[in-house]
A and B are shown apart, each in its own frame.
Chain A
Amino acid sequence: MAANPAVMDQSIESLEKNQQWWWVAEKKRSRRLDYLRKSIWKKGAVGGLYNPGVKVDLEQGFLGMEAWKANAIFPEPENIRLARELAHFLDNKTIFITDHAQLVGYVGSLPHTVSWDPSLGEMLNEEIYNDPSAIPDPVDENLKKVAELCDFWAGKTLQARIIPAFDLEGMMKVMSGAIGWGLPTSRSGYAGKDYEYLMTGKRGFADILAEVEKKLDETYDKLHNQPPKRDNSSLTDKLQTWEAMKIILEACIRHGKRYARLARILAENFESDSKRKEELVRIAETCERVPAHAPRNLQESLQYDLFIQLFSRTEAVEGAWPSRPDYYHWPYYKKDVLDEKSISEEAAMDLVGEFLIRAAEVGQYKPRWTKEGLQGIDGTWVWTLGGVYPDGTDACNDLTVAFLRAARLVRVANPTFAFRWHPKVKDEVMREVFECIRHGLGYPSIRNDPLLVQNSMHWHGHPLEEARTWVHQACMSPCPTTKHGFQPMRMASATANCAKIVEYVFTQGFDKVVNMQMTPKTPDPRTFTDFEQVMEAWNVHMRSIFGLLVSGVNRGRSVASRITPRPYLSAVSERSVESGLDVCDPSISRGNSWITGFTWVENVDSLAAVKKLVFDEKRYTMDELCKALDANWEGYEQMRLDFVRDAPKWGNDDDFVDNLMVRCLQDVAKYSRELECPSGNSWPLLPENVSGNIHYANMVGALPNGRRLGDALYDGGISPGPGLDKKGPTAVLKSCGKIDHVGDGRAFLLNQRLSPSQLAGEKGYQLWKAYIRTWADLGLDHVQFNMVSDETLRAAQRDPEKYQEVIVRVAGYSAHFVDISRKTQDNIIQRTIQGI
């Protein structure tokens, strides 16, 4: 983004007074951070397409093909085959070092590419073939290469191997896109990490390799040199799992050393500036050290973390980035900046800011439904800050503050932060959190730490000390970072388009958009004489949809270690290294499942409208309502407006509708306890949306809350519908406070929009602090804020080039305003600005 010269002539104080935080950031950040920030090729899609210039990377496909052909001569088990394929890729892919960078590593071969592994699925491959904007230049020549890769991998992909393992009827319903999304595989989703094993300074990859080699020697001896026992068959499987781990760990170490070699060559042959030479030598030393060995300083620690994530993204398409950077990198920050003073705070800020930038630039080609559901970003990377130590003491530190300040300087939309609030957080930290929100980042979201620790213990039985290690596995759900507590793969397919539940009450389970009997045929709603009959039908459809999605994911998890193993993720997970079982094996995991509930509040507002206008006031009959819904409200505008205006809406502290919310959630919670994951744990609901409210707009039919097919749905979680919360922010909190945020579900997303002018200065901070106290006292688990004026957003719509770094909170994530569709932009502008 080239700065407007007229703006850049203004002082920082003047820009701050006008709350033009994106220009303030540009003036305040170091020259290095400014260069690196502007160097990012944004990898989020808008309208389903990537930005001009962003191209799909072909290297992984061709190198993967080479490895496959080599393996075909002497076929090996899938985990070993995959490990060799990944090793061949890491050994031979193009790598690069950006000018002024101190951290290295990327998923693709060049900065403007999005990575593509054609071994994952034919559906994804066909999308790429039909996306000419993403084909590298020269397009004609490279389209032939894409075709060659698609043809080679057809029938060999993970999708081809796993789909026959599923119930066909269930799979077709999921793949219709009406009730959920995604394919339940372990190489596409959100991978947690065993950070307590990896990131506490006790080991690097070479140390894990030594453990694996010891296991290989012991097991080989048992298998070959001792009398066979009845578990010998499993010994062969374990040998293969450890062998695969060995292959990939060695490749990862070699890959680090490739960067070391490149950095040294540049320092010795290409760089004339002495300062940059020193930096390149430091990069070389860093990459010679990590990932092979445990880090010794902040640069090594951040580089190690980056490598861990990039290798995981080489093995799978990952839609999340669970991380607790201020906690795990703190010992190194403390040592370097505070104790030994080997680097200054400013130098540390450059490293921390660059770490955010390296994460922001990651891009993997995503299928259409992801690009539309996560507009403007590559995945929901919610980094967890703050919280407590396992003993319950405050874990906030100077690095917590450094990350918050770095975020205000580099203004990336992804990663975003979520702050684990607890009553003992120091005021200075809360002020830094507030400054990020005031600067319009849309993050951190605020999480109620004591409550969510209880929630983790309640639903999944995590012991207290393990529950306290939690990070966001995706945008909202806590997950421990411990040996048995972390979840290796959260498959996105357990994501429900909940508005369909109430829609199916009126269509008797038939989906009119995709023309399919989706759930059991409930009685004709025209025959209902009592609201309880409506609720009975609602429960039937709720159980059917959730049960279907959970069945699919359970099946995906059960077959994962056999059909879609994760040799790398297993190699960095203590329970797998110890047991010789793939990390996805449910027998070694406690389980941490949840059902994401998109488009949830539509149910409650619709049910409230039916109860009031049909059964209580008898203003309309069910027959009239059914006719109006069948007609998509066309010709029934006055009736539609009655259902919009005269029925109580969620978020106004009105027991009529709030009691229905609690009732629906408790019905789901009851069912959640009947559901079981393959580890034997439960499946609580988590209402939130990402940009599913836009993605599903043309999927959800007319509803009794007055919505028509095609209208944007509500923005998610337990947020009131845009403009429908009319009684102020305390009323919203009071409504939300009626929910039991421990027992009624996993977590509950709440979007709130605040006024930038009201929250200026010290008075604004005190107002916000009081709001957070009320939020905590009412027992809510989550809240996140947009603090950008309508004026700025409308200006950004008119002149997007000047507002590239304006950020908004979409739902479970933030995005640059100019990177989301017009419909989503308008939806955000419609959200009520709460005066507190």
Chain B
Amino acid sequence: MAQCKECRNFFSDENQPASGDCIRKTVDPRQAYFTSKRMEALRDTKDCPDFSNKK
């Protein structure tokens, strides 16, 4: 079972080891932007279509 902390989009937070940020790039009809969403490091990624293993 993969966890968020194993994903290349996940950036751990040294101040809060249990959490981190999931950083993604989006291009919509008007602009390109990077998003950041707070995630728990140990969150199960089974329902995440964008999981990409760091290794």
| Bound CA span A269–B23, Å | 10
Least CB distance from A400 to B in Å reads 30
A38 at interface by CB-CB < 8 Å: yes
Do the beta carbons of B36 and A96 come within 8 Å of each other?
Answer: yes
Interface string of A67-93 (1 = CB under 8 A from B): 000000000000000000000000110
- Contacting B at CB under 8 A, from A88-107, are 91-92, 94-99
Interface flag for B55 (CB, 8 Å): no
* A41 is an interface residue with CB less than 8 A from chain B: yes
Decide if B33 touches A112 in the complex (CB within 8 Å).
no
| CB-contact partner of B11 in A35, A98, A99, A265, under 8 A | A265
Give the residue name and chain of the A residue nearest to B27 (CB): A99
Contact residues in A for B28 (Cβ distance below 8 Å) = 53, 110-112
Q: Chain B: interface residue count, which band?
A: 10 to 19
Of all chain A residues, the one with the shortest Cβ separation from B35 is: A96
List 26 A-B residue pairs with CB atoms under 8 Å apart, sorted by A's residue number.
A38-B30, A41-B30, A53-B28, A92-B38, A94-B37, A95-B35, A96-B26, A96-B34, A96-B35, A96-B36, A97-B34, A98-B31, A98-B32, A98-B33, A99-B31, A99-B32, A110-B28, A111-B28, A111-B33, A112-B28, A261-B21, A261-B36, A262-B21, A262-B23, A262-B36, A270-B34
Q: How far is the CB of A137 from chain B (nearest CB, A)?
A: 12
Apart from the given pairs A112-B30, A269-B23, 8 other A-B contacts in the complex at a CB distance below 8 Å: A39-B31, A95-B35, A95-B36, A96-B34, A96-B36, A111-B30, A265-B23, A266-B23
Q: How many residues of A contact B (CB 8 A)?
A: 25
The answer, yes or no, to whether A662 is at the interface (CB within 8 Å) is no
Asked if A258 CB lies within 8 Å of chain B CBs, one says yes
The residues of B with any CB-CB pair to A shorter than 8 Å are: 11, 13, 21, 23, 25-26, 28-38
Most buried by A among B11, B21, B31, B37: B31
Distance (Å) between the CB of A44 and the closest chain B CB?
Answer: 15
The 6 A-B pairs of least Cβ separation, nearest first, read A39-B31, A262-B36, A98-B33, A96-B33, A99-B32, A96-B35
Chain A hits for B36, CB < 8 A = 94-96, 258, 261-262, 265
User: Taking beta carbons and an 8 Å cutoff, which residues of A are in contact with B?
Assistant: 35, 38-41, 53, 91-92, 94-99, 109-112, 258, 261-262, 265-266, 269-270
Cα A347 to Cα B34 with chains together (Å): 23
With both chains docked as a complex, state the minimum distance between the C-beta of B28 and any C-beta of chain A, in angstroms. Answer: 6
| Neighbour of A97 across the interface among B30, B33, B37, CB < 8 A | B33
Smallest beta-carbon distance A362→chain B, Å: 15
Alpha-carbon distance between A376 and B6 when the two chains are bound, in angstroms: 45
Q: How far is the CB of B22 from chain A (nearest CB, A)?
A: 9
In the complex, what residues of A have CB within 8 A of residue B33's CB? Answer: 96-99, 111
When the two chains form their complex, are residues A111 and B31 in contact, meaning their CB atoms are under 8 A apart? Answer: yes
Task: State A266–B36 Cα separation when bound (angstroms).
Answer: 10
**B13, B21, B34, most chain A CB atoms within 10 A:** B34
Minimum CB–CB distance from A97 to chain B (whole Å) comes to 5
A42 nearest in chain B by CB position: B30
- Note all chain B residues with C-beta closer than 8 A to A261: 13, 21, 36
Contacting residues, chain B, for A269 (C-beta < 8 A): 11, 23
User: In the complex, what distance in Å separates the CA atom of A255 from the CA atom of B32?
Assistant: 22
Partner of A53, one of B29, B34, B35: B29
Bound complex: CA of A109 vs CA of B37, how far in Å?
Answer: 9
Shortest Cβ gap from A830 to chain B (Å): 34
On chain A, the residues within 8 Å of B11 by CB distance are 265, 269
A820 to B46, CA, bound (A): 46
Across-interface contacts of B21 in A (CB, < 8 A):
261-262, 265
In the bound complex, CA of A98 to CA of B25 (Å): 10
Nearest CB of chain B from residue A64's CB, rounded to whole Å: 16
- Once bound together, how far apart are the Cα atoms of A91 and B36, in whole Å? 11
What are the residues of chain A within 8 A of B34 when measuring CB–CB? Answer: 96-97, 262, 266, 270
Chain A: minimal CB distance from B30 (Å): 5
Docked Cα-Cα span, A257 to B19, in Å, equals 15
The CA-CA distance from A258 to B32 in the complex, in Å, is 19
Assembled-state Cα–Cα distance A265/B21 (Å): 10
**Complex CA distance for A557 and B38, rounded to whole angstroms:** 37
Q: Shortest Cβ distance from B15 into chain A, in angstroms?
A: 9
CB distance from B8 to the nearest CB of A (A): 9
> Inside 8 A of B23's CB, which chain A residues have their CB?
262, 265-266, 269-270
Nearest B residue (CB) for A36 = B31
Chain B nearest CB, measured from A100 CB (Å): 9
Q: Given that A265-B11, A265-B21, A270-B25 are contacting pairs, would A40 and B30 also be in contact in the complex, using a CB cutoff of 8 Å? A: yes
A53 — which chain B residues lie within 8 A by C-beta? 28-29
CA distance in complex: A92, B13 (Å) = 14
Question: Which of A91, A98, A110 meets B38, CB within 8 Å?
Answer: A91
A110's nearest neighbour on chain B, judged by CB, is B35
A95 to B23, CA, bound (A): 10
A99 to B32, CA, bound (A): 6
Residue of A nearest to B38 (CB): A92
A-side contacts of B26, CB under 8 Å? 96, 110
**Interfacial chain A residues near B30, Cβ < 8 Å:** 38-41, 111-112
Bound form: Cα–Cα A87–B11 in Å: 22
Minimum C-beta distance from A1 to chain B (A): 10
Collect the chain A residues with CB atoms within 8 Å of residue B31's CB: 35, 39, 98-99, 111
Name the distance in Å between A766's Cβ and chain B's nearest Cβ.
42
A102 CB to closest chain B CB, in angstroms?
14
Kindly name the residue among B25, B26, B30, B35 whose own CB sees the greatest number of chain A CB atoms within 10 A.
B30
Q: Which residue of B lies closest to A95 (CB)?
A: B36
Bound CA span A98–B31, Å: 7
Closest approach, in angstroms, between the C-beta of B53 and any C-beta of chain A?
Answer: 16
What is the CB-to-nearest-CB distance from A96 to chain B, in angstroms, rounded to a whole number? 5
CA distance A96 to B31 in the complex (A): 11
Q: Which residues of chain A come closer than 8 Å to B37, judged between CB atoms?
A: 94
What residues on A are CB-neighbors of B29 within 8 Å? 53
Minimum CB distance partner of A40 in chain B: B30
Inter-chain CA distance A98–B26, complex, in Å, is 10
Q: Which residues from B are CB-within-8-Å of A262? A: 21, 23, 34, 36
Which B residue's beta carbon lies closest to that of A52?
B29
Q: Contact partner of A94 among B13, B25, B35, CB < 8 A?
A: B35
CA gap between A779 and B21 in the complex, in Å: 58
Closest-CB distance, B44 to chain A (whole angstroms): 18
A40 to B33, CA, bound (A): 12
